[in-house]
Amino acid sequence: MKTKKGLVGGVFILALTFLLVFTNARVAPAQESQILKIGGFNPRSGPAASWGINTDRAIDLAADEWNKKGGVTIQGKKYKIEMIHEDDKARAEEAVKAVNKLIYTDKVKFIAGPMMSSPFLASAPIIETTKTITFVGCMAPAVLKDRKYIFRIAVPWNHAAPAFFKYVTKIRPNLKTSVHISSNDATGWASTQADNDACVAVGIKVLGSEFYDAGTQDFTSMLARILPLKPDFLSFAGTPPNVTALVIKQARELGYKGEFIHSSHCSPGVVGPIAGWDNIEGMLTGNFTFEGEKVPPAVKKIYNDWITKYGQENAAGFPDGVVQYPLIDILCRGIEKANTLEPDKVVAAIENLGQMDTVFGKARWGGMKTYNNNHQLLVPIWISQVQNKKLILLSLEEPWDVPPPEQKWR
């Protein structure tokens, strides 16, 4: 009797939980005619949420721009863009669930913005089989290899890192040795490979590579291994900003005097308050920013729109996800050029867009030698520096179409 009563109590609590979860869930907008649905899945909760949410925000902002202009024109009809974002919690099984929902329930033909390699790779076979044209930001090489319907908008480490570190050797010739820190997963291993290959290619000696498991908050054991090697800089690439911040904070506490470099996107607005702004002064990152003489006016406009729509949160330098802002523009131009939603024709039209003017500079498709397709956007990479709690653009550098050969760095 007591057990029965207890079970009823337990079920009641769980029911209350689900009620709360569902009242928090987004209600799907009503179906309308002449709507172009674009799906998206990214971590919107959990440790990688800051990346996912900001990516989705950037894509929404770009979609707003097209909608303000009336939408996408297909055979004389205007289609307004409707974004449907799902939360994959940076987990493979959640990503597969999200993709199935988007394709089979929401009937989307396009997906925009997945930025975590491991979850995306789990869902890629469904995307390719259903001919769902997808623009991604995730960086692992396998994401693009031999794909027909997947395009990559962010410049991955293997193309960006050589240009990044070449520039580093130019402005900081004193930086001669590095240790790379990344997560113990597909994203982390790919970024480590790329960063270390790039360092070796430009003459920086790689002293070691360290991997941490997801959820780690105490890095003192890892740092106790690294710091006696006395690297000139610690390098991060696929490391989320909150984790980067903790490593930096703990490294300084353990007496590390060297520099920190994050060769991909890592918002100092997240890193600074946790790591301490003094600890990241002078840090070089591949993040986009709105400050510095070299920043194009179009980017400053995006920043103003961002602030208007989302407020000031995390706004020292652009939040990390803004890298995917140009994808909506490229996708919509491709659809308009194809003048149809038929996937193969849209793919062909996108591939033939030629040289494109994007907000981040002139871009073109590349990657044939590496991925057996020309689905990698080659857009200038931004190299910025933290200066007095601001992120200042130092240079725009051309990414390498053909990455350096794999080195024996381990």
**Interface contacts to another protein, rule CB under 8 A:** 2-3, 5-7, 9-10, 13-14, 16-17, 20-21, 24, 44-47, 49-50, 53, 184, 210-213, 215-218, 220-222, 224-225, 228, 242, 245-246, 250, 253-255, 270, 273-274, 276, 313-314
Distance between CA atoms of residues 185 and 201, nearest Å: 24
Q: Minimum distance from CB of 224 to another protein (Å)?
A: 5
Element (DSSP H or E) covering residue 135? strand 133-136
Element (DSSP H or E) covering residue 77? strand 77-87
Closer CB to another protein, 41 or 151, in the complex: 41
Closer CB to another protein, 13 or 30, in the complex: 13
Q: Minimum distance from CB of 54 to another protein (Å)?
A: 9
Q: Minimum distance from CB of 341 to another protein (Å)?
A: 33
Q: What angle do CA 31, 87, 320 make, to 5 degrees?
A: 110
Residue 134 one-letter amino acid:
T
Distance between CA atoms of residues 199 and 68, nearest Å: 44
Q: Minimum distance from CB of 3 to another protein (Å)?
A: 6
Distance between CA atoms of residues 248 and 280, nearest Å: 8
Q: Minimum distance from CB of 275 to another protein (Å)?
A: 9
List CB contacts of 175: < 8 A, sequence separation 6 or more: 168, 169, 204, 232, 233, 259, 261
User: Do you know the residue count of the chain?
Assistant: 410
Closer CB to another protein, 245 or 363, in the complex: 245
Closer CB to another protein, 53 or 139, in the complex: 53
Closer CB to another protein, 254 or 307, in the complex: 254
User: Is the Cβ–Cβ distance between 157 and 139 less than 8 Å?
Assistant: yes
Q: Minimum distance from CB of 410 to another protein (Å)?
A: 11
Closer CB to another protein, 61 or 379, in the complex: 61
Q: Is 74 helix (H, G, I), strand (E, B) or coil?
A: strand
